[in-house]
Amino acid sequence: MTEISKKRGFVYLIGAGPGDPGLITVKGRDCIGKADVILYDYLANEHLLTYAAPHAELIYAGKVGGVHNREQWQINELLVEKALEGKVVARLKGGDPFVFGRGGEECETLVASGIPFEIVPGVTAGIGAAAYAGIPLTHRDFTTSVAFVTGHENPGKEASDIDWERLSLGSGTVVFYMGIKNLPLIAQNLMAHGRSAETPVALIRWGTRPEQEVLVGTLADIADKARKAAFKAPAITVVGNVVTLRDKLRWFDNRPLFGKGVLVTRAADQAGEFSRLLAGYGAQVFECPTIRIVPPESFDGLDGAIASLPSFAWLIFTSCNAVSSFFTRLHDRGLDSRAIGPCRICAVGPKTAAALSTYGIIADLVPADYKAEGVIEAFRSLDMNGKRVLFPKADRARDLIPTELQKMGAEIEAPVAYRNVIPEALPSEALQALEERRIRCITFTSSSTAQNLAAMLGENRLLNLLEGVTIASIGPITSRTCRELGLPVDIEPPAYTLEALTGEIVRHFT
Q: What is the 3-state secondary structure (H, E, C) of 238-294?
A: EECHHHHHHHHHCCCCCCCCCCCEEEECCCHHHHHHHHHHHHCCCCEEEECCCCEEE
In the beta sheet, which residues pair with residue 37? 57, 89
pLDDT of residue 353: 93
Least trusted range by pLDDT, from 118-132, 362-376, 413-427:
362-376
First vs last C-alpha separation in the chain: 54
CA-wise closest residue to 41 among 97, 120, 83: 97
pLDDT of residue 68: 67
- The predicted model gives 395-414 an average pLDDT of 92
Q: Is 41 a catalytic residue?
A: yes
Active-site residue among 178, 351, 387, 393?
178
Neighbours of 142 (CB within 10 A): 16
Pairing assessment for the beta strands 416-421 and 292-294 based on DSSP bridges: antiparallel
- The predicted model gives 17-42 an average pLDDT of 96
CB 146 within 8 A of CB 173: yes
pLDDT in tens, 280-295: 999 999 999 999 999 9
> pTM, whole model, 2 decimals?
0.79
Confidence check: pLDDT of 155 > 70: no
Active-site residue among 30, 34, 63, 221?
63
Confidence check: pLDDT of 349 > 90: no
- The three-point CA angle 191-194-198 to 5° equals 55
pLDDT of residue 416: 95
pLDDT band at 40 (very low <50, low <70, confident <90, very high): very high
Please provide the average confidence, as pLDDT, over all residues in the chain: 92
Q: Is 42 helix (H, G, I), strand (E, B) or coil?
A: coil
pLDDT in tens, 197-249: 999 999 999 999 999 999 999 999 999 999 999 999 999 999 999 999 999 99
Confidence check: pLDDT of 5 > 50: no
Q: How far apart are CA 198 and CA 178, in angstroms?
A: 22
Confidence check: pLDDT of 169 > 70: yes
Q: How far apart are CA 127 and CA 132, in angstroms?
A: 9
Domains and CATH numbers, the chain: 9-123 (3.40.1010.10), 127-249 (3.30.950.10), 261-291+423-509 (3.40.50.10090), 295-420 (3.40.50.10090)
Active-site residue among 41, 82, 351, 384?
41
Least trusted range by pLDDT, from 204-218, 267-281, 302-316:
267-281
pLDDT of residue 154: 56
- The predicted model gives 181-196 an average pLDDT of 94
Over its C-alpha atoms, the chain yields an Rg (Å, rounded) of 29
Confidence check: pLDDT of 3 > 50: no
Q: Is 369 a catalytic residue?
A: no
- The predicted model gives 49-66 an average pLDDT of 86
C-alpha pair distances (Å), 129 with each of 45, 239, 274, 282, 307: 14, 13, 26, 15, 59
pLDDT in tens, 355-393: 999 999 999 999 988 788 888 999 998 999 999 999 999
Q: Is 456 a catalytic residue?
A: no
Confidence check: pLDDT of 139 > 70: yes
Confidence check: pLDDT of 2 > 50: no
pLDDT in tens, 314-329: 999 999 999 999 999 9
pLDDT of residue 397: 84
Phi, psi (5° rounding) for residue 84? -70, -15
CA-wise closest residue to 506 among 283, 268, 330, 253: 283
Instruction: Please state the separation of Cα 50 from the chain's center in Å.
Output: 11
- The predicted model gives 453-473 an average pLDDT of 95
Alpha carbons within 13 angstroms on the beta-carbon side of residue 46 total 7
Q: How far apart are CA 186 and CA 174, in angstroms?
A: 11
Ramachandran region of residue 319, left (φ > 0), alpha (ψ -120 to 50) or beta?
A: beta
Q: Which amino acid is at 252?
A: F
